[in-house]
Structure 1
Amino acid sequence: MESERDIQHFDDIYKHIGQCNQYFFFSYIIVSLCVMSNAWNSLAVVFLFPETDFWCQVDQLDEQCLDLNLTEVECILLKNDYRPTDQSSTTLNEGHCSQYNFTNYNFNINEPLRNVSIHSCNSGYEYDTTQYKTSVTQEFDLVCEDAYLVPLVISLEYIGALVGSLIFGNFSDRYGRKKILLVCMLLYTLLNIIILSSQWYLMFITFRAIAGAFSMGAYMSTFVIGCELVGPSRRSLAGTFISVQWSIGYMVASLYAYLIRYWRLLMLAMAIMDIFIWIMIFLLVPESPRWLHSVNKVNSTDRILKKACKFSKDPQANFDACQQFCRQKGDDFTPETQQSPSNFKTVDILRLKNIRTRFLMIAFIWFVNSLVYFGISLSVVSLGANEYAANALAGFVEIPAVFIAWISIECWGRRIVLSATMILAGVACATTSFISNDVWVATLGMVGKFGITASFTLIYIVTAEIYPTSIRNTAIGLSSMIGKIGAIIAPQILFARVIFEQLPYLIFGGLAIAAGLLALLLPETRGLNLPQTLKEGENLG
């Protein structure tokens, strides 16, 4: 009987307390809410900087509206008639960024406009507030010659996330998953509240970039602690459900924006929900027992496992077995055998041959996933729906993608499915470059989004399972950092359409296919114990 309770590896604990222990499962559900928060805070940028119709503020036209006693809608129609060009699109063109010189113009005799000179807007701009009552774009006049400031804030936010993925990945390995999660989530929530008082755009983009760093730190810690709270047979489901939470947050962002048309109130509503989630995590979620065990915090590990054992069939016997394992490892814990993350540096990922090779392959796959994912997401408006529906649909299509990915990896393994989903996304993206039918382009775009979402879900799982506990969060942080480079340059690749219309999706397709083929060289990790030490990580597969 005693041999049946012998525990040689931390993953063996789950054979006694359950692969999906009720206490850990409840904690996992609560902590995964942080991912929803990350999603709606990140994707709200679509609604903070919407492309709305605008035109020059012309005092003479306002006077004309008053003289003719026109309604608001009639006045807008009048101003449209007196634009230098008759354009209905929201792109920055002459009809939006210039005006006629009406200084000596006589409206009563309907003087031909071809005789009137044109100059740039000199009295500011007016905006169509039918859909968005206020937005950051409207408030800071981010149009015409200042339009480049809109993509700038998106790039800076991703740069902040890039820095955060490196810094907080290492901090999480050193100081604990929950502690870093709580600190990062609290700080990005406070920064979002501070942004509400922004009176200058420089203040807005500065705090938005810093918040991006803390948001990424919270996201990575959430993913790692979520995967570490469940046993090996449920780990892929844990990673999948976190991706579903992101998709739900994606759609919730659309709901928030649909209900709240004022950008400051929109951010305030999201911040209030973030505070509520933070309090739940603080009160109800334990530190990762796997991390506590890896740094020899025996008493803390015992305390958490004792709670988990209460939900097993034989609580006391199971806890005794778990405690014996933890105490035994604690007795063997010496400076020479210590596996604390604080003893490791980032360079250790590159020191061992197999870990180094896998890191380089995984880093490239991360880069391509991020590039293609955000490239497709930023061009989702091509679906032709309104922004709320398009954004919600883009989020909805991710849910079946992550579930099918989870079912598939349980049947065929991580490596094959990761490769297949990336190749699917690549073929779909590349094919859009050779067809002109709008319906088929939109359909293939969604197929590409489906494939790249599935692969994005899997690359987190593969990364978490390939690296040992001592460097796991650091490795995920580094990989995510490289992935953020893809997110940063995705808008620039989309801009390459001015050179060749089909070029962006040809690039997305080619890189996705290449990354999919490279994924076949990674080791298969289905059903294996998570490696604890560098030696176990080096010998994996």
Structure 2
Amino acid sequence: MDPEKSRETEVTVDDILHILGPFGKFNVLNYFLILFPVLLAGMYSSVYNFEAMDLKYRCAIPECVDQEANFTAPYLEDGSPAKCLRYAPFMNFTSNENKLNDTCAPHFFDTSTEVKCDSYIYFEEHSIVKEFNLGCQDWKRSLVGTVHNAGFFISIPLTGLISDRYGRRLALVFASVANGIFGVIRAFSLNYEMFIVLEFLEPALGGGVYTACFVLALELVGPKGRVFASLLFNTMFILGGVTVTLLSWWLQSWRYLLLVIYIPAILVFFYLWSLTESFRWLFSKGRYEEGLNVLSRCEKFNNVRVPKDHYDQVEKQAMKQRDARKCEVIATNRSTFKQLLMSPMIWKRLFTCSFLWTTSTLVYYGLSINAIELSGNSYLNYIVVIIIEAPANVCKLICLDRFGRKKVIAIAYFLTGIILINYGFIPGGNWSTAFYLGGKFFITLAYNSLYIFAAEVFPTNYRTTLLAICSTIGRIGSAVAPQTPLLSRFYEFLPTLLFGIMSALSGFLVLTLPETNNQKLPDSLKEAQDQDRKVPTDEIEKERNTDETGSGIDTKTTL
């Protein structure tokens, strides 16, 4: 039989998925189940901003019954009393005998001497600041976000391990239930130390729920459904951030807020019996019958007919691929990986992508966190900054294929840098708000596009490993982001200035990477190197065909 003709008639899993349809009833049901934890993940990624939200408070003045007396503390330029300082009382009016008399008058306080507060009067109580008496301890508030994001250093590799070894469904359930359990326990924290430990454990064990959901969702549909699936995930994540903001605004209690958003995550435990496992993962583990049963159920649920021989061909291909991988493991570990480590090009791209990832997480999360500190309603500020991500995601889908990865991402970083560096020179008002939102729009565009771009510059054999390294190193940015509001103590616009400089540097670094639009994914180290040499895709394919057929035709590219 002609091998070329046989190759043309081969049936792949994607062919079966095309017959089943990308969004039949079966996939709609499973996507409905998968997107629920994604909505919850959107809430959990933002909730620490409201748990540790700053409150209105001032020094407690034991000499005064009226704690709001305007002569006991210095006033700031905006007309509000200082939170952390008060005027010292004159020494001769501090005895116990005089305290029994009326000592709350302007002439009893030394306005030339300011002292730190011993205790505080809180006028709000919706965050841990009042609960654990964190007045004027901003470092403890910002530490909450840092500890939360540090948990992802553990959850990223942990979720990947569970997903690859025990299945996508189990990884999703484990992460979501872990979120729920530690989140509910955190709602009953007795002190700050207990709270901060649980703030770390929750994302450390459950922070990978978004990744687990995303992988499972993409493996359930064919190529034509993946772009739309990505847009669905981004939309649900944004909706989660908006939802937790509205709930915090309404409940005005951090304990009630945690109970409301974390209890539903525990119910995901029942997904073990209701959610479909990835048939691709089942095939990779040699569990062909189970994988084919998943496809068969989808066929019956969607009321379509798939020829029986299609399943037989897919099973044979899966067995061949699995056997081939087993044979290549030893050779790959001994040769390819060593070559990878010895390649300056790989190290350059690894450093560049890691820096881009760090910048993206720092600026992306930093702008969201600092939005709460802006003037006006903190809840509305945060909602607007989150919603601006929606058009950025749509812009990504439109621009990346049309104008190329490199150009779009570089321009997005440059515009982020220009906008945020100039933000401090814009007078307050509508223009200032527009610049701030513009910075969030373009960093979202760059950040979300980076996922695609980075995957296209690494060779297939170690693409997942190298991306995991970039993503893990990049989490340094999200861990540092909660500390950036402290920089405003030295200069009001220092956080946005830092974000702008980092973004501009990232724009220049993007220019050092090759353009990957409309290019074949590199399957080997040589093909990845050919990207730097700008070898066209058709030349790569021609050279590959020559090597396979042994025709002897010279296919070297003239550079």
Q: Answer yes or no: same fold by TM over 0.5.
A: yes
1:390 is aligned with what amino acid? Answer: N
- Per the alignment, residue 134 of structure 2 pairs with 142
The counterpart of 1:456, out of the listed 425, 447, 453, is 447
SS of 1:107's partner is: coil
State the percentage of identical aligned residues: 25
CA distance in 1, matches of 2:211, 2:383: 24
Aligned length: 516
Q: Deviations over 1:193-232 (max 9, x none)?
A: 1112211211110111111212322122122222333322
The counterpart of 1:290, out of the listed 267, 277, 280, is 280
How far did 1:37 drift? 1.1
In 2 relative to 1, CA 136–323 (structure 1 residues): closer, same or farther, beyond 3 Å? farther
Deviates more, 1:220-229 or 1:494-503: 494-503
The counterpart of 1:81, out of the listed 48, 55, 70, is 70
The counterpart of 1:235, out of the listed 223, 226, 232, is 226
The counterpart of 2:173, out of the listed 179, 182, 185, is 182
User: Does the CA-based 8 Å contact 2:413-2:446 persist in structure 1?
Assistant: yes
Task: Mark the runs of 5 or more structure 2 residues left unpaired by the alignment.
Answer: 532-536, 538-559
User: Does the CA-based 8 Å contact 1:36-1:246 persist in structure 2?
Assistant: yes
CA distance in 1, matches of 2:18, 2:467: 27
CA distance in 1, matches of 2:80, 2:461: 54
User: Does the CA-based 8 Å contact 1:31-1:226 persist in structure 2?
Assistant: yes
Deviates more, 1:110-119 or 1:441-450: 110-119
1:509 is aligned with what amino acid? Answer: G
Aligned 1:108-147 pairs, distance under 5 A: 110=105, 112-115=107-110, 120-122=116-118, 124-129=119-124, 133-144=125-136, 146-147=137-138
1:39 matches 2:42:
yes
SS of 1:55's partner is: strand
SS of 2:26's partner is: helix
Aligned 1:503-518 pairs, distance under 5 A: 503-518=494-509
SS of 1:126's partner is: strand
Q: Deviations over 1:21-55 (max 9, x none)?
A: 54234323421222221221231222212211213
Aligned 1:273-422 pairs, distance under 5 A: 273-276=264-267, 278-279=268-269, 281-310=271-300, 314-317=304-307, 320-331=309-320, 333-334=322-323, 337=326, 351=341, 353=343, 358-381=349-372, 383-422=374-413
In 2 relative to 1, CA 99–370 (structure 1 residues): closer, same or farther, beyond 3 Å? farther
1:15 matches 2:18:
yes
In 2 relative to 1, CA 110–93 (structure 1 residues): closer, same or farther, beyond 3 Å? closer
The counterpart of 1:28, out of the listed 15, 31, 49, is 31
1:219 matches 2:225:
no
The counterpart of 2:148, out of the listed 157, 160, 181, is 157
TM-score, with normalisation over the residues of structure 2?
Answer: 0.80
User: Does the CA-based 8 Å contact 1:291-1:469 persist in structure 2?
Assistant: no
User: Does the CA-based 8 Å contact 2:72-2:109 persist in structure 1?
Assistant: no
User: Does the CA-based 8 Å contact 1:56-1:99 persist in structure 2?
Assistant: no
1:487 matches 2:449:
no
1:40 is aligned with what amino acid? Answer: M
Q: CA RMSD in A?
A: 3.7
In 2 relative to 1, CA 98–402 (structure 1 residues): closer, same or farther, beyond 3 Å? farther
- Per the alignment, residue 238 of structure 2 pairs with 247
Task: Mark the runs of 5 or more structure 1 residues left unpaired by the alignment.
Answer: 65-74
In 2 relative to 1, CA 446–152 (structure 1 residues): closer, same or farther, beyond 3 Å? same
Q: Which has the larger radius of gyration?
A: 2
TM-score, with normalisation over the residues of structure 1?
Answer: 0.82
SS of 2:358's partner is: helix
In 2 relative to 1, CA 221–467 (structure 1 residues): closer, same or farther, beyond 3 Å? farther
How far did 1:293 drift? 2.7
User: Does the CA-based 8 Å contact 1:224-1:473 persist in structure 2?
Assistant: no
Higher RCO structure (Cα 8 Å, ≥6 apart)? 1
- Per the alignment, residue 191 of structure 1 pairs with 182
